Amino acid sequence: MATQQQVPEIDEYKYGFREKDVSVFRTKRGLTEDIVREISKKKDEPEWMLEYRLKGLRHFYKRPMPQWGADLSALKFDDLTYYVKPVQNQGRTWDEVPGEIKDTFDKLGIPEAERKYLAGVSAQYESEVVYHSMKKDLEKEGIIFLDTDTALKKHEKLFREYFGKVISYADNKFSALNAACWSGGSFVYVPKGVVCKTPLQAYFRINSESMGQFERTLIVVDEGASVHYVEGCTAPVYSSSSLHSGIVEIYVRKDAYCRYTTIQNWANNVYNLVTQRAICEDHATMEWVDGNIGSCITMKYPSVILKGEGARGNTLTIAIGGKGQNQDTGSKMVHLAPNTSSTIISKSIAKNGGNVTYRGKVHFSPKAVNSRSHIECDTLIMDDKSTSDTIPYNEVLNKDISLEHEAKVSKVSEEQLFYLMSRGLTEQEATEMIVMGFIEPFTKELPMEYAVEMNRLIKYNMEGSIG
Amino acid sequence: MTVPELKIQDLHVSVEGKSIVKGFDLDIKGGEIHALMGPNGTGKSTVASAIMGHPKYEVTAGSVSLDGENLLDMAVDERARAGMFLAMQYPSEVSGVTNADFLRTAINGRRGEGNEIPLMKFIKTLDKKMDLLEMDQAFAERYVNEGFSGGEKKRNEILQLMMLEPKFAILDEIDSGLDIDALKWVAKGVNSMRSENFGCLIITHYQRLLNYIKPDKVHVMMNGHIVKTGGPELALRLEEEGYDGMKAELGIKDDEPVEA
């Protein structure tokens, strides 16, 4: 069979096409020590990485499921495949990428995106990175932008210095799972004082039924350097649940700047349970721009540890929860040093009976004097079936701080719709316009082609949401 | 091209089960400007909202037709695309959407797919109309009505009117809260629209605006229907005598006042 095998079950999912499985190697279902050893062996990893994986596995077995947040009881770990390797070797140029994989990328518009904007592409197909290119000028600057597996081989010392330092395998059940069977992801290193002018972009995609995808991204921005990393996800539709449980670790050294932009549009049967965390040294800045549109359940709280004096952390997050979806998202800011500041802006939309929850935490340690945090949570509820919650935690251990929290819940009002429709917009167009306006603070922060894609997704997403 | 015609016959409107407009008749043709005056709570704004199709206003009897087509059968946006426009008393704010984007979407919605207004033409037209209304260019990029003063919102309504070029416009108390300069800009905008292809109903309490926009006819509405019709001199007379004088003359007793 050549291309599409079946009509996707969730028929409104636009990117729900599926290619013929071209994998050359896949592990059995369920996760055992043998499988972890097998993964490590296939990847020809150093001994310390195997040990790390096994430590993660043991912790994963031991650690109970989280008892807070979204309901994960339907997630069956034994039904998943933990490693699928789609091709023997990584494609070095576009021409070398297998045709069927290329078709999938074509449908996602990668070649165009690359021609126009990409400085480097790291597109993840299933568990391995199959296509990876970098422009010469990036290399000239000494910027390393590789898939994580290759980075481990080529830059082991640098890799080991930072790997697992921001998020321990024992951080939570899913960080342990990721530690045990991680595969793929991006590795970025920006040397001292280097400003990476073009955003680095990677596309991620799951294309094998019931396959867990455990990508591992590690970004190190050295002193005074600057980088913007962009990642977007779409996935085809499958009948049984898939799990995406990635880890993103970012180390922002003194005076450095990092922005990490991600839009996830997983199919509506994907569990998206991701741990993202950054550490900021003195006067460093970390910005998370985080969009959650797809998946059945997302639990994701990008965090910044403000470890150095004057460090800054920003999170701008949107979540759209439709039918059968539970978006449990937010952000964590941990102020550990004087004069640190943070901002969290969260925009949530609940429609067609979906649920959106903002869950956030701001911590001020005794040392974090003269620090401040500003939190804004706006929710737009499209109908009476949909729900939202705002759950902010604040831990304030010194008096010399300022903390502002604003929360607002609004409905698309009859008056607004009447106003826009009286100018000739259909109800659909009017609703879209209100929604687009609502998330505009997010969209305007995206690189151009992502903003366009985002608008398309939102439009698509809002279709049929009236009534 | 035939001159457009808006025909309102024996219109009855209720809000939340309460009858407010009771037998309203009016006929406006392209090229005509009518003023609808009357004390608070007589149902002037209710007429306006009902014609445009606000869901809160229930038409219980009567008909409204535009060029022979029944407006009451149409959804709000269809009425707009058929050529109706309502400049609202309290325009909504739409955060995150610029005036320019909003206008372009509205114009293209009317023109239909494949016939979108070219961007440069749109910008040029917008600049020209904003100049005429003495609006700062920055307004194009501000979010629809967000943080606008009362006067700015009203001017923005007139800008939309001029950009959308409807067959008929109802201006619902466009003069309320305007200072004399803003009043002049609004009048200038409306006067620039005058043509055989455009008819207008101006709802107002005061004759002040009518000094700047000369109406062809003035109607006085009380207790849910029109009680007297005349020329511009009627507005002047009302200004001098007040509504009480006219009530006495016509032998009208007050209904219980209702929400306008």
Task: Closest CB to B80: pick one of A415, A424, A440.
Answer: A424
**In the prediction, which pLDDT does A138 show?**
79
Total residue length of chain B = 260
**In the prediction, which pLDDT does A3 show?**
37
Half-sphere exposure (CA, 13 Å, Cβ side) for A229?
A: 30
CA angle A122, A124, A125 (to 5 degrees): 140
Does A47 lie in the same domain as A141?
A: yes
Boundary (domain end) residue, out of A300, A325, A350: A300
Q: How many Å apart are CA A155 and CA A152, to the nearest integer?
A: 6
Does A4 lie in the same domain as A85?
A: yes
Could you state, in order of their start, the residue ranges of all structural domains in chain B?
5-250
**In the prediction, which pLDDT does B40 show?**
86
Does A271 lie in the same domain as A316?
A: no
**In the prediction, which pLDDT does A127 show?**
43
* Residue A92 in this model has a pLDDT that exceeds 50: no
Contact yes or no for A232/A179 (Cβ under 8 A): no
CATH architecture of the region B5-250: 3-Layer(aba) Sandwich (3.40)
- Say how many domains are in chain A: 3
Task: Closest CB to B94: pick one of A421, A434, A441.
Answer: A434
Question: For residue A218, which of A144, A117, A303 has the smallest C-alpha distance?
Answer: A144
Boundary (domain end) residue, out of A282, A300, A318: A300
**Residue A358 or A113, more confident:** A358
Q: Name which of A421, A429, A433 to mutate to probe chain B: the one with the most chain B Cβ atoms within 10 A of its Cβ.
A: A421
Q: How many Å apart are CA B96 and CA B108, to the nearest integer?
A: 19
Q: Could you give the percent of chain A with pLDDT greater than 70?
A: 76
Does A266 lie in the same domain as A223?
A: yes
Averaged over A100-115, what is the pLDDT?
50
Token output for B42: 């007589």
Q: How many Å apart are CA A376 and CA A405, to the nearest integer?
A: 6
Token output for B214: 């000369």
Q: Which of A92-106, A239-253, A324-338 has the lowest mean pLDDT?
A: A92-106
Q: Do A421 and B77 touch (CB under 8 A)?
A: yes
Quote the minimal CA–CA distance from B244 to chain A in Å: 34
Q: What is the pLDDT of residues B158-216, one digit of tens each?
A: 999 999 999 999 999 998 888 888 899 999 999 999 999 999 999 998 888 999 999 99
**In the prediction, which pLDDT does A75 show?**
86
Per the DSSP assignment, residues forming a β-bridge with B142 are none
Does A244 lie in the same domain as A388?
A: no
Q: What is the pLDDT of residues A327-386, one digit of tens each?
A: 999 999 999 999 999 999 999 999 999 999 999 999 999 999 999 999 999 999 988 899
B-chain residues within 8 Å CB-CB of A416?
92, 94
Does A198 lie in the same domain as A347?
A: no
Boundary (domain end) residue, out of A271, A300, A329: A300
Does A61 lie in the same domain as A204?
A: yes
Quote the minimal CA–CA distance from B132 to chain A in Å: 21
* Max Cα–Cα distance, chain B, nearest Å: 58
Q: How many Å apart are CA B66 and CA A46, to the nearest integer?
A: 80
Which sign does the torsion angle of CA B230, B233, B235, B238 carry?
Answer: negative
**In the prediction, which pLDDT does A414 show?**
86
* A301: Cα separation from own chain's centroid: 10
A-chain residues within 8 Å CB-CB of B52?
418, 422
Does A284 lie in the same domain as A236?
A: yes
Beta carbons within 8 Å of A26's beta carbon, 6+ residues apart: A81, A83, A84, A85, A208, A211
Q: How many Å apart are CA A452 and CA A434, to the nearest integer?
A: 17
Segments forming the whole domain that contains residue A405: 302-411
Strands A387-396 and A355-364: parallel
The overall average pLDDT reported for chain A is 82
**Residue A51 or A135, more confident:** A51
Q: Is B117 exposed, middle or buried (0-12, 13-18, 19+ CB in 10 A)?
A: middle
Strands A216-221 and A247-252: parallel
* A202: Cα separation from own chain's centroid: 11
**Residue A118 or B173, more confident:** B173
Does A398 lie in the same domain as A269?
A: no
Confidence of residue A126 (pLDDT cuts 50, 70, 90): very low
CA nearest to A435 within chain B: B96
Beta carbons within 8 Å of B125's beta carbon, 6+ residues apart: B117, B163
Does A330 lie in the same domain as A234?
A: no
Does A404 lie in the same domain as A262?
A: no
* Residue A395 in this model has a pLDDT that exceeds 50: yes
Confidence of residue A143 (pLDDT cuts 50, 70, 90): very high
Token output for A92: 């070095």
Element (H, E) at A200: strand A200-205
Which sign does the torsion angle of CA A453, A457, A460, A462 carry?
Answer: negative
Per the DSSP assignment, residues forming a β-bridge with A270 are A242
Q: What is the pLDDT of residues A417-463, one digit of tens each?
A: 999 999 999 998 899 899 989 999 888 888 776 777 677 667 766 76
**Residue A146 or A7, more confident:** A146
In angstroms and rounded to an integer, the radius of gyration of the C-alpha atoms of chain B is 18
A-chain residues within 8 Å CB-CB of B16?
none
Q: How many Å apart are CA A159 and CA A45, to the nearest integer?
A: 13
Q: Do A420 and B55 touch (CB under 8 A)?
A: no
Does A163 lie in the same domain as A85?
A: yes
Confidence of residue A116 (pLDDT cuts 50, 70, 90): very low
Most confident among A5-19, A53-67, A95-109, A445-459 (mean pLDDT): A53-67
Question: For residue B146, which of A440, A466, A456 has the smallest C-alpha distance?
Answer: A440
- Which positions of chain B have pLDDT values less than 70? 1, 254-260
Most confident among A34-43, A217-226, B178-187, B236-245 (mean pLDDT): A217-226
